[in-house]
Every structure is written in C-alpha cells, then in structure tokens.
Structure 1
Amino acid sequence: MVTSRDSITPPDSRWATAAGVLVTVAVGVAGLTWAKWVPYLHKAFDAARTQHWPGSDILAVGGVRAGDAPSWHAATTFFDSYVGVIWPALLVALLLSACVQAFVPRSLLPKLMNRDTLVGSAATGGAASMPSMMCTCCSAPVAATLRNSGVNHAAAVAYWLGNPLLNPAVLVFLALVAPWQWTVTRAVIGVIVVVGGAALVARIARDCEDAAPSVPVPLTDQRDPGSAALRFGKALLRLCVVLVPEYLVMVLVIGAARGWLLVLIDPAHRSLLLVVVAAVVGTLMVIPTAGEIPILQGLALLGVSSGVLGALLITLPAVSLPGMVMVARSFGWKTTWGTAVMVMVAGLAGAAMLSLL
C-alpha cells in the first residue's frame, strides 16, 4: 500500500512547522507596520496636504560639496544621517531573515517563489517585494536568505530590486511632489528591470554556471521545538557578525568619498558621457528609502539635464555598493555584478525615457 508523505508526517511536526511560519509572518507584519507602513502613510498624507517633500539631500549632509576631498567628517556625518533613518528597517530585515532561517522549512520558499520560467519567478519575487518597501541595503539580508534557502536567482534578484524600485509608497510620493514624468519613468522602467532584468541576470548566471551559495542555511528540524530559539539566535548572530560590519564600513566609505562622486555630476555639462557617469555613480551610491526625491529635486533646481535625472531616478535606489557586498556571498559575484551592470543600462533607459517625456 502506498502511503502519502502527509500521512506519515508526525502531527507534532506539522504543528511546529505551522507555528514557525506564523511566527515569521507575525514578525514581518508587526515589524513592517512599525518601520514602514505607518510612517509612510503619515508621510503620504503630509505630502498630499503640502505638495512638498520634507526630506533633505542626504548627500549634502555635513556641508559636503562637490569636489570636497574624502574626510572622516564626511564619512561620519553621512553615516549618522543614513543609519539614523534606516535602522528600523534594517532591524526588521535582520529579524525577519533570522526567522526564515530558524522557523521556516527550507523547501517552502522555493515552492512558493520558483516558477517554471525565469520571468515567472522574477514576477513572483517582484510581487513579494512590494509590501516590504525597503531600501536596497535593508532588503539585502532578506534577499540573501531567500537565495540561501533555495529560491532561484531570478526570484531573489527580483525581490532585492523590487523593494526599492517598485516601492508603492515611493511611487505615491513621486506622484504627489514631483513631475508626473518622474513617476511614469520610475514605474515603467522599474517593472522592466525587476521582471525582465532579473530574469536576464538569472539566465546569464545559469549559463555561466554561477556558484551555489557558499553559506547554506541548515535544514530546519521542526520536530525539535526546544531548539527553535537557539536556531533563531544563531541565525541572527551570524547575520549581525557577517553582514552588518561590512555593510557599515562600506557606508562610511561612500560617505567619505561622496564629494568626489558628486563632482562627476556637473550641471554645467550636458553630454551623453555625463548621463553614463550618472548611471555608474547612482549604482554605487547608497541612500535611504525615498532619499532620491530631495536629491533629484535639488539637481533639477540646479539645471541638471533630464537625462541625468532619469538615470539617477533608477540607479540611485536600485542597488548600491554596500548592498552588493551584502548579497555577493549568496548570489555569487557574477550575478551581483551582472545585476549592477543591468541596473546601469536601465539607468540609461530611464534617461532616454524621461528626456522623451
């Protein structure tokens, strides 16, 4: 007689699995409500009432101007301002990642997110990213955990890119305080990047036989509920020890060098080369969620061309050098750099579209 797998699964194990998934969902919902949903709802109402974005240009914090040499002052003022904004989302991302590693069976996420086609997987990853609404660095621990859990490259990359590019709150903010062309460009190019771009990167990674995750997540054993807290503690400690220090160091580096990076975007020049430079610089920069809005508004007032604004509209939020460092072990460097190059090309597409509109 053939016995189904469900019929031989111990009831206690099924209950433990369900409890672990519920705990993970509860942590995600509670954390995102605190760090993202409620604050963004208030910001949206304020923006609708005032037609003004209250945020300031984080790249100019500390009085740093284009051409300033790297300094400890530039590094620390940027670090303090950036971390002061993103720490709630980063905390939620670390807790959620640890919950996934400790409580969710490793086979569940691939079943939910891996599809028969790369485009289908990318679409699933992009859709899953929209409720979390994180910046590229805060979404990096979750994206790395998805990849380590067996989620394919297309879905994991799409989740990573979809958080900043398809963030529904930022699209609302843009619609309220910026020209309508910015919102349309961000939405159209964002969908193309998250779905088509992630699928393309995954295809290249597969053709190049990209390396499997170097730090696989242990299979969870839901039959031993007493070890759940220990698994969670180990997972959280590993994330904090491995990912957070290198992330914070890279934020300091970007902050220190921002004066040199800003000088590359000179509003006095209007050439295709400047648009390409803007796409590269925007890909390396790290900003908090919606941090591109005051930056682009300030550049627009200085007379920067639509091409440069379109390139930065896509590349500034999409990825960053610290975010790439965080996901590289799980994605593999070929996939990571392939994603960065694809985002740069998408920035050029954003520049062309915004210039035409």
Structure 2
Amino acid sequence: MSPPQPVATPVWGIVVFFALAVAGLFYVKWSPYYHRAFVAAGQHAIGNSILMGKASAAPPASLQAALDYAWAYGKAIWQAMVLGLLLGSAVQALLPPRWIAKTLGRTGFGSVAAGGMLSLPGMMCTCCAAPVVVGLRQQRASAGGAIAFWLGNTVLNPATLVFMGFVLGWHWTALRLVLGVLMVFGTGYLVSRLATPIDAVAARAQLHTAVTAAEGQAATGGTFARWMRILARMTLRLVPEYLVLVLLLGAARAWLFPHIGPDIGNEVLWIAALAVAGMLFVIPTAGEVPIIQAMLSLGMAAGPAGALLMTLPPISLPSLVMVGRSFPTKVLALVVVSVLAFGLAGGFLAVLLRF
C-alpha cells in the first residue's frame, strides 16, 4: 500500500502571502523611499537626527526623554512593524514549510546567499525584520540563512545606500556596500559553520513535524485561524518587551552618545565606544544617515562616523531580544562580535582613506 500523499497548502494562502508582501512593501517602503530619494538628491538631507535633533547632545536621561524618543521612533516605524508582524506570522501559516526548507533550510552557503538576496526588497529596520526572522526560524530556515536575511535588510538596503550617497557622499556608500556584503554573507556563512551533524539531524526532524502540522491544518481548513493565532501570539510576545527596551534606550541616549564635537577624534577608544553604542541603540530605517550627517557637521571625526555607519543599522538591543529565542546563544554572540568587528573596520578604513 502506497503512503498517503501530503496535503497541499491552500493556493489562496500562498496568493495572500505574496499579495500582502508586495502591497505592504510598496505602501510602507518602496513608494515612500522612491520619493525620498528625490528629496535626498535635491536637499542633500533626509531630515533631522532622531538621536538628538539639531542639538549637539542628546537630552539628559529622564522619563520625558524616554517618552519623546519612543514617540518619534514609533511614528517612524509603526507601519513597518505591523507589516513585519503580519509577514512573520504569514510565513508560518500561509507558505508551505517545504519551500522555506528548500530555499533557506540548508546549512551551506546556498541558504546564506538566498537569505541575503531575499532581504534586498524588504528594506526593513532591524526590529521590523525581527518578526519575519522569527517566522522563518519557526519554519526551520537555517541559522545562517536567517541571519543573512536579518542583516541584509538593513546593511544592504538599496534605498539607504542611495540616501547615503546623496547626503554623505558616494565614498560612504561604497564603504558601506563593501563592508556590508562581507558582513551579511560572511557572518551568515560563519553562523552556518556552527551547525553540527547532530544539529542537522534535529533540524530535519523538526522540519518533518512542522510539515505534518501545517498539512494537518490545511486538511481541516484551519489556515486562516492558525494565521490569526500565530499573529496574536507573536504580537503579545514581541511587542511589550520591544517597547520597554525602546523606552530605556530613549532615556539612555545621553549615556550612549555623549556631547558630540571636535573632541571626538579618530582615537581607537572613540571608534570602539561609538561602535558599541551604535550596536546597542535602535533606529528606524536609514536613521543612521541624518545621525552621521549631524555628528560630522558638529565636528566629530570620520573614524567614529565609520563605526556608526556599520553598527547602528544591523542589530540593536531590542532586536536581539526579539530574536533571542530563535537562535542559540552562541549564534547571537557571533553576530554581536561580527557587527562590532565590522564597526571597527569601518572606523579604521574611514581614517585610512581620509574620509
């Protein structure tokens, strides 16, 4: 007797996912960034620094500073966060698990390359991409592929690279692009190398369980209800802790970023300190461009600016917490070390190349 054939994922679910992805990204990302590119070209600016506005220092740590930053940041990213939650839950409920496994589930460089390339249309900030990364991991995407997707959304964002060229100069874009490619695909590959044969066996077993569960839902007609349950669960788990950390970082801006001026030079200590601060802090998509522009105009040296160029966008304390349950601790530690290393490289190269 032949084994039963697997139940196909409903076609309507796949259609809904891609319609949501295209329409959502067009409304939230592609169309606004297209118009902002003309603003960047004409005005050589895309707005004030969200970190400290037009001042030379962030406001002192206080409840008001926390609320002000959370409000400004929330207005900038709330639509993208809603889209990220919708897509992160839809990945789990509407796409066939075998698709994710075939594209991103292997432990070799192929999944890393696929993850990095798939990130390019997303243009999400690190926190808005985090729910999608969580969803991919739930569908058994490999750690290397998911990390490449996560980092690529921010570091290789085509719109940000264009804004950067018009606002900061194309030499900054070139620096970001070269180091960004190495960060996204190099870090993803190193993460994939952490997987052991035992991990691969466990991943295959988990994939089989996920496929069986998804097919069972499809057979009983519960796909939409499952999507809503996953969406509610992700929202309740990720959003509260995210909001708390954004408030804390908003209050701590003055501690992470001291008075900005000519006294912040190209010394190794300043480059390292700004690299760490940038890695911890949370910003909206392309927020690093006006931040660095403001700091350079206040006299800060190019070395610390190069460090921020590479550490502000890819990860943050809130986004690390959001994906914390989806990766082993050693993977997240490797990502943190890698981002800091590229931050130092960005700073030293900016000095060496006389930016």
TM-score, with length taken from structure 2: 0.90
What pairs with 1:1-357 in structure 2 (closer than 5 Å)?
A: 9=5, 13-14=7-8, 16-48=9-41, 50-61=42-53, 65-66=57-58, 68-115=59-106, 117=108, 119-204=109-194, 206=196, 219-221=213-215, 223-224=218-219, 226-263=221-258, 267-270=262-265, 271-357=267-353
- Answer yes or no: is the 8 Å Cα contact 1:57–1:291 preserved in 2: yes
- Answer yes or no: is the 8 Å Cα contact 1:104–1:220 preserved in 2: no
Distance verdict in 2 for CA 1:225–1:46, change over 3 Å: farther
Write the distance in 2 (CA, Å) between the matches of 1:116 and 1:248.
33
> Shift in Å at residue 51 of structure 1?
3.7
SS in 1 for 2:97: coil
- Answer yes or no: is the 8 Å Cα contact 1:35–1:89 preserved in 2: yes
Write the distance in 2 (CA, Å) between the matches of 1:348 and 1:207.
34
- Answer yes or no: is the 8 Å Cα contact 1:265–1:277 preserved in 2: no
SS in 2 for 1:263: coil
- Answer yes or no: is the 8 Å Cα contact 1:141–1:326 preserved in 2: yes
SS in 1 for 2:257: helix
TM-score, with length taken from structure 1: 0.89
Write the distance in 1 (CA, Å) between the matches of 2:112 and 2:299.
37
Could you tell me which runs of 5 or more consecutive residues in structure 1 were left unpaired when the two chains were aligned.
none
> Shift in Å at residue 95 of structure 1?
0.6
SS in 1 for 2:124: coil
Structural RMSD (CA): 2.6
Write the distance in 2 (CA, Å) between the matches of 1:290 and 1:176.
13
Aligned AA (1:168): P
Could you tell me which runs of 5 or more consecutive residues in structure 2 were left unpaired when the two chains were aligned.
none
- Answer yes or no: is the 8 Å Cα contact 2:311–2:340 preserved in 1: yes
Write the distance in 1 (CA, Å) between the matches of 2:291 and 2:198.
37
Distance verdict in 2 for CA 1:112–1:187, change over 3 Å: same
% identical equivalent positions: 44
Cα distance per residue 1:183-231 (max 9 Å; x no partner): 0011000000000122113324659979x899x9683135336311210
Distance verdict in 2 for CA 1:207–1:291, change over 3 Å: farther
Cα distance per residue 1:323-345 (max 9 Å; x no partner): 00000100122212221111000
> Shift in Å at residue 236 of structure 1?
0.5
- Answer yes or no: is the 8 Å Cα contact 1:165–1:318 preserved in 2: yes
